[in-house]
Structure 1
């Protein structure tokens, strides 16, 4: 397997679909956050993928295709099983690794930064964690554990 192949930037919806499939493959298999997707939410990736691709296409490629409430399903999930800073940190770690594994460039960098911002916002809105900067707040685990 060649490791010297140049990675391009995220530029199309197809690039996002590829990224999201890679990310969700890792997330579903992850022992910490996988159960949120597979057991608690019972997520059907094929049904969910068009919506989440719309979200990221709107966020990163400025398409204005996403017209849903991104917070509502996360709030409902948090009601069923509380999500903590560790869960959101692991999400950031897997998201950043998926981006880094496929893409390189300004849009890829924005995807990683936006992922951290979204994770922090969801953590704050669902549980109030990370709002005081004190112990128990959000620590982007990607900065610490990403390359393991």
Structure 2
């Protein structure tokens, strides 16, 4: 059953982000970036990232942080690849789809993909060396193999 209600407020973002980070922390590919390398404290991180998404979707929060800096620090500790960003997008979009549908949900998914691509480009020269062919939005190959 598909969710029918769009993302409507900060509470919706909080629920969505908790679902996403629960999946991301447990994921064998990207989880170690959160749990081992960054040692992310979700309760500390959540208000900041909720501000980010509230600003992106509603233009109501004040987010003045540099979203790139923590990713650059992670990349210095262990390189982030297209496969990592592709998995992030897959988990993000699955989390959104599991809870919401509508224009803001679609914007959240599109924005997540744009952010992932921009981060990947900024972290390196944009090459896909060692990534198995590069960024695959929505883990399209996995989805096609199931169909």
Report the TM-score, using the length of structure 2 for normalisation.
Answer: 0.89
1:71 aligned to which of 68, 72, 85: 68
Q: Which runs of 5+ in 1 are unaligned?
A: none
The correspondence of residues 50-69 of structure 1 with structure 2, limited to 5 A, is: 50-69=47-66
Write the distance in 2 (CA, Å) between the matches of 1:56 and 1:67.
Answer: 12
* Conserved? CA contact 1:97–1:146, under 8 Å: no
- Corresponding pairs, count: 142
Q: In the superposition, relative to structure 1, how do residues 98 and 112 fare at CA in structure 2: closer, same or farther (>3 Å)? A: same
Report the TM-score, using the length of structure 1 for normalisation.
Answer: 0.89
The correspondence of residues 20-31 of structure 1 with structure 2, limited to 5 A, is: 20-31=17-28
Deviation sequence 1:33-61 (CA, Å, 0-9, x none) = 00000000000000000000000000011
Deviates more, 1:43-52 or 1:62-71: 62-71
Write the distance in 2 (CA, Å) between the matches of 1:17 and 1:49.
Answer: 7
1:89 aligned to which of 86, 91, 101: 86
Q: In the superposition, relative to structure 1, how do residues 50 and 72 fare at CA in structure 2: closer, same or farther (>3 Å)? A: same
* Conserved? CA contact 1:37–1:43, under 8 Å: yes
1:107 matched to 2:99? no
Aligned-partner SS, 1:91: helix
Q: Which runs of 5+ in 2 are unaligned?
A: none
1:7 aligned to which of 4, 22, 29: 4
Q: In the superposition, relative to structure 1, how do residues 99 and 127 fare at CA in structure 2: closer, same or farther (>3 Å)? A: same
